[in-house]
Amino acid sequence: MELSAVAERRGAVTPVLQIRDLSVARSGELVIQGINLDVRKGEFVGLVGPNGSGKTTLLLTILGLLEPIPNTGGEVRLYGNDGFSKSDHGRIGWVPQAGSKIPNHIRITVREIVRLGTLNSRNLSVFGGSRRNLRVERALEMVGLGDKADSEISRLSGGELQRTIIARALASEADFLLLDEPLVGVDPPSRNSLLKLLDDLCHQEEITILMVSHDLTAISQAAHRIIYLEGGVRFDGPSEDLPDFSSLAGLRGIKHVHDDHSHDH
């Protein structure tokens, strides 16, 4: 497989993300337990699982917003460092569900939204306006929104709005994107276009992507690797090796409801 060859060439390069024996509790209840995984530079990893399986908890822990269980909860390392640090600001782009995050009555343009990505504690006083402008224009170009730069966000489709949020992360010079359900509210043609964009970012820019989605079909076609999470990691491998739905149910301990009645008719 192409990806494994790339990973092999990179050899001993430190993974962008390393998770070891990670367990996290929320409101006193254990949500994820004993998670081990590495994500390497330029990988496109899909994170799937049923509601309540711990996907959001895992993302929030990577972002440093939730902590592992004290003493026994394992560790998260980013770029070889323990946990999320101030030096990671700008390198990690958080892409939430766009439609639910920006009220469409706000009069703001695509370029203005993307420019917000250039302002953070790491670079606020370091880079001049011309450097920020270059980053904004490059980010717009990367997501194919150069011709929409002066459009107000209220006029955008769901797919265009999601691209705008991705561009905002890229303008921060992020090289690791965490996306939470980016396909929600996006029509099928725009969904395909968005997935193609993410694939291009991996191959052409070596940007690393970890994407949560409930759309198993779409993410299987786009991601190089799938992690199926439910409390712990139940599957981690190439997308083409992901078990079918009945096998996934077996992984979860679910039996076919019709098995006991197969001879009733």
Closest CA to 90 of 203, 170, 200, 206: 170
pTM assigned to the model: 0.80
In a domain, 69, yes or no: yes
| Adjacency order of strands within the sheet including 225-230 | 92-95, 176-180, 208-212, 44-48, 225-230, 232-238
> What is the reported pLDDT for 191?
84
pLDDT of the chain, 265 residues: tens digit per residue: 344 444 444 445 889 999 999 999 999 899 999 999 999 999 999 999 888 889 999 999 999 899 999 988 899 999 988 877 766 667 888 888 755 566 667 788 999 989 888 775 455 544 557 778 888 998 998 888 999 999 998 888 888 888 898 888 888 888 999 999 888 878 888 888 889 889 998 999 899 999 998 888 888 888 999 999 998 999 999 998 888 755 665 555 555 444 444 444 4
In a domain, 27, yes or no: yes
Cα–Cα distance for residue pair 222/112, rounded to 1 Å:
29
In a domain, 189, yes or no: yes
In a domain, 261, yes or no: no
In a domain, 89, yes or no: yes
Look at the chain and report how many structural domains it folds into: 1
Residue 242 tokens read as 């992901």
In a domain, 262, yes or no: no
> What is the reported pLDDT for 34?
95
Domain containing 61: what range?
Answer: 2-253
Buried b (16+ CB within 10 A) or exposed e, 131-155: ebeebbeebbebbebeebbeeebee
Rg for the chain, CA atoms, rounded: 20
Which CATH number is 84's domain given?
A: 3.40.50.300
CA 193 to chain centre: 17
Residue 252 tokens read as 């979860």
Closest CA to 240 of 256, 222, 252: 222
> What is the reported pLDDT for 253?
56
> What is the reported pLDDT for 98?
59
Q: Which amino acid type is present at position 240?
A: E
> What is the reported pLDDT for 100?
54
In a domain, 149, yes or no: yes
In a domain, 151, yes or no: yes
